[in-house]
Amino acid sequence: MDGVSGEALDALLRGFLSEDVGRLDVTTESTVPPGTRTRGELIAKSDCVVSGLPVARRVFTLLDEDLGWEGEAAAGTCVAAPATLARLSGRARAILTAERVALNLLQRMCGIATATRRYVDAVAGTPCRILDTRKTVPGLRPFDRQAVRDGGGVNHRYDLSEMVLIKDNHRRLAGGVARAVAAARAGAAGVEIQVEVESEAELHEALAAGADRILVDNQPPATVARWCAIVRESPRRPFVEASGNIRLENVRSFAEAGVDAVSVGALTHSVAAADVSLELSPG
């Protein structure tokens, strides 16, 4: 997951577990006898796109290295509720203590994947791709981005170092689009440059400055279509992305306007978690 695996992933997950457990899982330790074993199923109780099962498994395994795990549903699979996502078995105390962290991540990732798939389906048949944004909860970005991919979406830049993105505040502080692009070319040589534009004048300025990517922000589909036509006529045709005020009901209109991609912050900043539960029995 985006450079987070092995020991780095385990460190993140151990941090999540530490936050949740505190000093002691007093309920489990006081009610479940030592040595008790259990069997269980992770059940999707809402229709969803599967994402996050390897992460959930790792959370459980960190507390029970001999965990039994089978029948894992493939990432990206659409399931209709009720559906068994995986079966597990092991030490009851460990599984109960890990349950909330595993479910929190699994529910969030399935929710993001499900929302992403809806947007991907809405633009099916067009060349338009659905992108995520950096509007993620700190610490959860690798998980959120994986969920977007599982839903059929495409990741935007991971962090501020991956691409220059000149937005309104950058433009104002740099003295305009042309100056901002020139400064970026000089100060970040070899890094792709995207310019957010909010007027046709800014679009022409960005094209003249040689921007690699254009971000059309907060414009209606008709305006986006007109600006895409202008871009297509430019000698050096940059990548065009639309953002702002884009919802499931209107995303296809933006796709049909001719953009290469649409970025949707709501995929990760307004997650509707999937309904997933862990049902255990003695065993």
Length of the chain: 283
Peptide bond into 238 cis (omega under 30): no
Selection from 279, 281, 282, 262 nearest residue 116 by Cα: 262
Q: Please give the positions annotated as active site.
A: 100, 135, 167, 196, 217
* Bridge partner residues of 151 (DSSP): none
Query: Which three-class secondary structure state does DSSP give residue 79?
Result: strand
Question: Are 208 and 231 in contact, with CB atoms under 8 Å apart?
Answer: no
Selection from 193, 234, 191, 240 nearest residue 215 by Cα: 240
Q: What contacts 24+ positions apart, CB below 8 Å, involve 228-231?
A: 228/257, 228/258, 228/259, 229/258, 230/200, 230/203, 230/204, 231/203, 231/207
Query: Which three-class secondary structure state does DSSP give residue 249?
Result: coil
Nearest-angstrom CA–CA distance, 198 and 92: 57
